Amino acid sequence: MNNNSNRLLALDCLRGLTIAFMIIVNTPGSWSYIYSPLRHAKWHGCTPTDLVFPFFLFIVGVAMRFSFKQYNYEPAANLIKKVFWRTVTIFAFGLMLNAYPFIRQDWDWSSLRIMGVLQRIGLAYGLASIISLYIKDNKIWIPCSIILIGYWFILFLFGGNDPYGLNTNVVRTIDIALMGEKHLWLGNGVPFDPEGLLSTLPATVTVLIGYYVGILIQENENQSILVKSLVIHAAQIAAIGWIWGFFFPINKPLWTSSYVLYTAGIATFFLALFIFMIDIKNYRKPFWPLMIFGTNSIFVFIGSGIWVKTIINIKFKFNGEIISGYHYLYSSFFQPLAGNINGSLFFALSHVLAWWLILYWICLLYTSDAADE
């Protein structure tokens, strides 16, 4: 493989690690029994779980840089069209996942959540693509700075006495005004969407930082120099985010500017680590399971979401109670096997293994078909 291929291999490994961890944090056997690192921060702060989503967006940015190479990084009409339809498609998949299993009482869709993870990925990808195609590489930092500082000012100036609070932040105010309370996420006890419209702007910067890291990868042919450069950038970006957090709290639901920089710095470090292990040390075999996940991330995200929603809607009778298929699997096997919290973790790990086996089987089918041709 040439250097660029190896580096993309490292990116697949990072993507694979992220998707595997996503399954773990999204499918515990019981939400009442979770080890603390596998929980999101209650509001301000950042746990390992809060790294999953920004890692995805960061990876999108790095991959963008490589995919735009065939267009010479110019806003060609066919590329803009491709970006537009990919944005629409990803958003539509997210909306359909919210609607699944497509059953509403009396076909009332008035409470359908509009935003979501895929919707944010689609919008952030689309916005970052336009910015990166129309702004010179050495000027990318300018729109990033404007967005991050501007977002800070908007939240501070229009958030009242508690600008970064759950009930008073302007992100929630705008979402309620534009989409209505019934179309927002209710997981925090009040209508507030952690993938809101305004907070998609700083999320776009997460993608752009990934794009910038892609530039660094392409410009540095010497792998040792590249890794050192990435580690230095990672430390600087994360440090700025951490310091900024004393004034503008690190907060995933608000996707604060400090959170953008802090998590992007960590993502850059992890990518540097994979490049070091794969490119310099040539340790590829230990990481090939991650590559299986890394080449099929959207499929796993959508598939795992559909699976969970499906078994939640299937009911079983257990110990005299009617419970969901999800709870039945945990209560009838994993909980008796390993107890409450370890059973909950093993339940999640079993899903990681199951999805990996599905993807491995698909890869074998593709390999077999290619050999036959």
Q: What would the pLDDT profile of 216-257 be if each residue is shown by its tens digit?
A: 999 988 889 999 999 999 999 999 999 999 999 999 999 999
Q: Could you give the CA distance from residue 174 to residue 197 in angstroms, rounded to a whole number?
A: 8
Residue 1's CB is within 10 A of a number of other CB atoms, namely 11
Among 282, 312, 334, identify where a domain stops.
282
User: In this model, does residue 172 exceed pLDDT 80?
Assistant: yes
Same domain, 315 and 242: no
* Prediction pTM value: 0.93
Residue 43's CB is within 10 A of a number of other CB atoms, namely 14
Same domain, 126 and 251: yes
Same domain, 66 and 130: yes
pLDDT of amino acid 373: 55
Overall number of domains in the chain: 2
Q: Could you give the CA distance from residue 108 to residue 6 in angstroms, rounded to a whole number?
A: 50
Q: What is the mean pLDDT of the chain?
A: 92
Omega cis (within 30) before 143: no
Among 230, 255, 282, identify where a domain stops.
282
291 phi, psi to nearest 5 deg = -65, -35
Same domain, 245 and 304: no
What is the domain range of residue 206? 40-282
Same domain, 112 and 224: yes
Same domain, 88 and 23: no
User: In this model, does residue 147 exceed pLDDT 50?
Assistant: yes
Residue 9's CB is within 10 A of a number of other CB atoms, namely 21
Same domain, 251 and 291: no
Confidence of residue 6 (pLDDT cuts 50, 70, 90): very low
Query: What's the whole-number mean pLDDT along residues 345-349?
Result: 97
